[in-house]
Chains A and B, each alone.
Chain A
Amino acid sequence: MNSVIPFLPLMVGAFAAILLRGWLRNTVMLIAPIVGAINLMGLEHGVFWSLEFMGYTLEPVRVDKLSMMFGYLFHLASLIAIIYALHVKDTVQHVAGLAYAASAVGAVFAGDLLTLFIFWELLALTSVFLVWARRTDRAYSAGFRYLIFQVLSGVLLLAGLLILAQVNNSLLFNQISLQHEGIAQIGAWLIFFAFGIKCAFPFMHTWLTDAYPESTPSGTIFLASFTTKVAVYAFARGFPGEEILVWIGVTMACFPIFFAVIENDLRRVLAYSLINQIGFMIVGIGIGTAIALNGAVAHAFNDVIFKGLLMMTMGAVLHMTGKINGSELGGLYKSMPKTTILCIVGAASISAFPLFSGFVSKSMIMAAAVAEGYDVVWLALLFAAAGVFHHAGIKIPFFAFFAHDSGIRTTEPPVNMLIAMTLAAIACVVLGSFPAQTVYALLPWEHDYQPYDVTHVLTQLQLLFFSALAFVWLNLRNMYPPELPSTNLDVDWLYRKLVPSFAIKVASTSYNAYEKMENSAINAIKRMSQKSYDAESDKPKGYFAKLWPIETMVVWVAVLLSSYLVLYYILS
């Protein structure tokens, strides 16, 4: 076939965006993902490009069903995000966005760990500009924290791959697994944590909730689509069926929903719910059966679209009103009815309402958990599923568009934003209503699954309606926590408050101690010189200092000669 390297169209688009301006740039940016997707169709499974490097075989482009699925997903996501960002007059965002998407595509087609590492770092370096593009002090420092985490992940990956290359004598990226002997075990764990950081594992998740909400309205759409999904892909290829992932995934699915309920910044609510959704995927990968793995990647596919849609609607609100805190918004349905409806479609999809995209993928993971006897996990995921509806499905649209009228009157966002959101919304409904022809057709593992039967639909509707009933009941009883202007402490408190204040204390005490020592030394020297010098008569106090220099000399010569004499007498 006449295909080129998969990430090339997007990367060329990024370089073209540097040079071109106006409608010409817009056209090239729109064409890039479309050409890229058509290019994918022509790719045949197998190694597309391999080479020798320092005695190792590298496969910079390897094609199989798993990489193809993510390849298509990233092209679709970048097309939607580009349309959403068309009105933005900012070269940095356009170039960074396209280059970032290209890096993600490059990463999922990487057949060896070294190529993966290169794209892993490119993901970090290109995406941080999307955070900085907000050009606020907060975004600037959040971007730096983000970059440190991402680079740390890259360093761990590099260290791990060097160890594994030494032990296995191969750099190819296949299943890694955590069961090794000796030093290879360390290498595997290093790579595991490298993936884990990018996947926003608990305690390593704060780069995400910190930086994503500080990005620009359109930058966040790119950010939410790629980094974490590349990590999910990497886990699906490298560590399928590792049981520890089940427990990590359950934690990720459950703890963020508590933070999401009390968070005020609505895009940060979505960032927490992003972690929660990744939790479902990680559970699926940890279970490791065909249906579970299919569910995990299908959910990644759907999540990019519906989370993108929700982020886009909140971006539209931020773009039009300049506000994003739940405490300052409300009643926007009057002036932004289309955005409201699009947001509700996204909310229905993430909550997994039947006929919307979340339903067809989340249910696969749940079914797999029950089938494999993970009872507690299944119950926890059920709780998380109800919680998602609560914070993402109800809270987001309710506090932005309904609740009390904030008095803000605005208009619908620019037409390109509306088109992008509408595309995503249509995709959510199509994916949810016709899964067999769309997302299921792309699934890498062989397994038949039928999401629509009476049991699934009924139980899911019961779960969701009664979660909504809980929301209504809590609100009527005034028990629902109001949106308050606030910051909620998370793990980032450790390195944003505790460590800095501790470091400042240590630094200031050690500096004080040094200063004290220096002063006492100077004082001691001063005292010594004062003791030996008579300031009143301007003469030194010591015996020899009172003599003439020649007299002192005579004394010392006498001492020298007599000791010479004594030595001569003893030694002879």
Chain B
Amino acid sequence: MSEQHEPDGFFDKPENIKKMMRIFYVACGLLVVADFIVHRHIYHDWEKIPAFYAIYGFVGCVVLVVIAKEMRKFLMRGEDYYDE
């Protein structure tokens, strides 16, 4: 195949990513703000903590990734481990 010039993809441009991330951060912020404006039903005591779901989601995922990373230390083997 000869060298073909292809147009840059949307996600190749850093300014597009920057724009998207900015929208994303604003959305996150709005969701937290909404927590104080909207009256949400409380089914459980812990839900009374402001922005409980946001905190739980963030912390939960960080903990998930950190533990998973540690698991690699004793679970990870070569790609052909079982074929050898």
- Give every chain B residue within 8 A of A258 (Cβ-Cβ): 64, 67-68, 71
CA distance A473 to B21 in the complex (A): 11
Cβ contacts A457-476/B at 8 Å (1 or 0 each): 01111111111111111100
By a CB distance below 8 angstroms, the chain B residues around A497 are 82
Chain B residues, CB < 8 A from A383: 56, 60, 64
Cα-based distance from A470 to B83 in the complex (angstroms): 36
A465 and B64 contact, CB distance less than 8 A = no
Distance between B53 CB and nearest chain A CB, rounded to angstroms: 4
- Binary interface profile of A, 479-517, with partner B (CB < 8 Å = 1, else 0)? 111001111111000001100000000000000000000
Q: Which of B12, B60, B71, B75 contacts A387 (CB 8 A)?
A: B60
Q: Is A35 an interface residue (CB 8 A)?
A: no
How far is B65's CA from A467's CA once the two chains are assembled, in angstroms?
11
Bound Cα distance from A432 to B59, whole angstroms: 28
| Additional pairs, 12, CB under 8 Å, beyond known A387-B64, A474-B65 | A262-B72, A370-B44, A375-B44, A378-B44, A382-B53, A383-B60, A387-B61, A458-B31, A469-B28, A481-B69, A487-B76, A488-B76
Interface residues of B in 1-44 (CB under 8 A from A): 6, 9, 11-12, 21, 24-25, 27-28, 31-32, 34-35, 38, 40-41, 43-44
How far, in angstroms, from A453 to B80 measured CA to CA in the complex?
50
A383 to B, closest residue via Cβ? B60
Task: Write out the residue numbers on chain A whose beta carbons fall within 8 Å of the beta carbon of B75.
Answer: 262, 488-490
Bound complex: CA A402 to CA B16 (Å)? 14
Would you call A465 and B27 a contact (CB within 8 A)? yes
Whether, in the assembled complex, A455 has its beta carbon less than 8 Å from a beta carbon of chain B, the answer is yes
| B64 & A455 in contact (Cβ 8 Å cutoff) | no
Choose one: B9, B25, B74; the contact of A334 (CB below 8 Å): B9
Say yes or no: is A362 at the interface (Cβ < 8 Å to chain B): no
Q: Which residues of A contact B62 (CB under 8 A)?
A: 470, 473-474
Asked if residues B40 and A461 are in contact (CB atoms below 8 Å), the reply is no
| Residues in chain B near residue A462, CB distance under 8 A | 31-32, 35, 51, 53-54, 57
Instruction: Give CA–CA (A480, B69) in the complex, Å.
Output: 8
Q: Identify which of residues 369-390 in chain A touch chain B, using a CB-to-CB cut-off of 8 Å.
A: 370-371, 375, 378-379, 382-383, 386-387, 390
Contact of A472 among B24, B54, B77, B82 (CB under 8 A): B24
Within the complex, the shortest CB–CB distance from B46 to chain A, in Å, comes to 8
Contact A402-B11, Cβ < 8 Å, known A387-B61, A469-B28, A487-B77? yes
Q: Is A261 an interface residue (CB 8 A)?
A: yes
Residue of A nearest to B47 (CB): A459
User: Is B41 a contact partner of A455 (Cβ separation < 8 A)?
Assistant: yes
Q: How far is the CB of A225 from chain B (nearest CB, A)?
A: 27
How far, in angstroms, from A246 to B53 measured CA to CA in the complex?
23
CA distance A469 to B9 in the complex (A): 23
Bound-complex Cα distance A138 to B40 (A) = 52
CB distance from A542 to the nearest CB of B (A): 59
Using a Cβ–Cβ cut-off of 8 Å, how many residues does chain B contribute to the interface with A? 50
CB distance A138 to B65 under 8 Å?
no
CA distance A543 to B54 in the complex (A): 102
Closest Cβ neighbor of A401 among chain B residues: B11
- Chain A residue numbers with a CB within 8 Å of B28 are 465-466, 469
Least CB distance from B67 to A in Å reads 6
Within the complex, the shortest CB–CB distance from B18 to chain A, in Å, comes to: 12
Contact across chains for A487 and B79 when beta carbons are under 8 A apart: yes
Residue of A whose beta carbon sits closest to that of B69: A481
Answer whether residue A221 sits at the interface, using C-beta atoms and an 8 A cutoff: no
Do A471 and B61 touch across chains, with their CB atoms under 8 A apart? yes
B56 pairs with A463, CB closer than 8 A: yes
Q: Is the interface of B mostly helix, strand, loop or mixed?
A: helix
Measured between beta carbons, the chain A residues less than 8 angstroms from B76 are 262, 484, 486-489
Residues of B in contact with A (beta carbons under 8 Å apart): 6, 9, 11-12, 21, 24-25, 27-28, 31-32, 34-35, 38, 40-41, 43-44, 46-47, 51-62, 64-69, 71-72, 74-83
Q: Which of A400-448 contact B (CB under 8 A)?
A: 402, 405, 409
Task: Answer whether residue A247 sits at the interface, using C-beta atoms and an 8 A cutoff.
Answer: no
Give residues 231-290 of A contacting B (CB, 8 Å): 257-259, 261-262
**Bound state CA distance, A405 and B35, in angstroms?**
38
A202 within 8 A of partner (CB): no
Task: Give 23 CB contacts A-B under 8 Å.
Answer: A258-B67, A383-B56, A386-B64, A454-B38, A455-B41, A458-B31, A458-B34, A458-B40, A459-B52, A462-B57, A463-B56, A465-B31, A466-B28, A466-B54, A466-B56, A468-B24, A469-B58, A470-B57, A472-B21, A473-B62, A486-B72, A487-B81, A488-B76
Nearest Cβ in chain A — how far from B61, in angstroms? 4
Closest Cβ–Cβ distance, residue B36 to chain A (whole Å): 11
A59-80 contacts to B (CB < 8 Å): none
In the complex, whether A333 has a CB less than 8 A from a CB of chain B is: yes
Set of chain A residues within 8 Å of B74, measured between Cβ atoms: 489
A331 at the interface (CB under 8 A from B): yes
- Complex contacts, B68 vs chain A, CB 8 Å: 258-259, 261-262, 481
Tell me if A367 is interfacial: C-beta within 8 Å of chain B.
Answer: yes
Report the minimum CB–CB distance from B84 to chain A (whole Å): 10
Alpha-carbon separation in the docked complex, A464 to B57 (Å): 7
Nearest 9 interchain pairs by C-beta: A470-B61, A466-B57, A261-B68, A462-B53, A455-B40, A463-B57, A466-B58, A487-B81, A466-B54
Residues of chain A within 8 A (CB-CB) of B46 are: 379
Contacts of B78 in A (CB 8 A): 486-487
Return chain A residues, CB-CB under 8 Å to B9: 331, 333-334, 405
Known contacts A459-B40, A487-B77, A487-B81; is-contact A382 B65 (Cβ 8 Å)? no
Residue of B nearest to A263 (CB): B68
Contact A479 B40 (CB under 8 A): no
Interchain CB contact under 8 A, B35 and A458: yes
Measured between beta carbons, the chain A residues less than 8 angstroms from B83 are 137-138
Return chain A residues, CB-CB under 8 Å to B31: 458, 461-462, 465-466
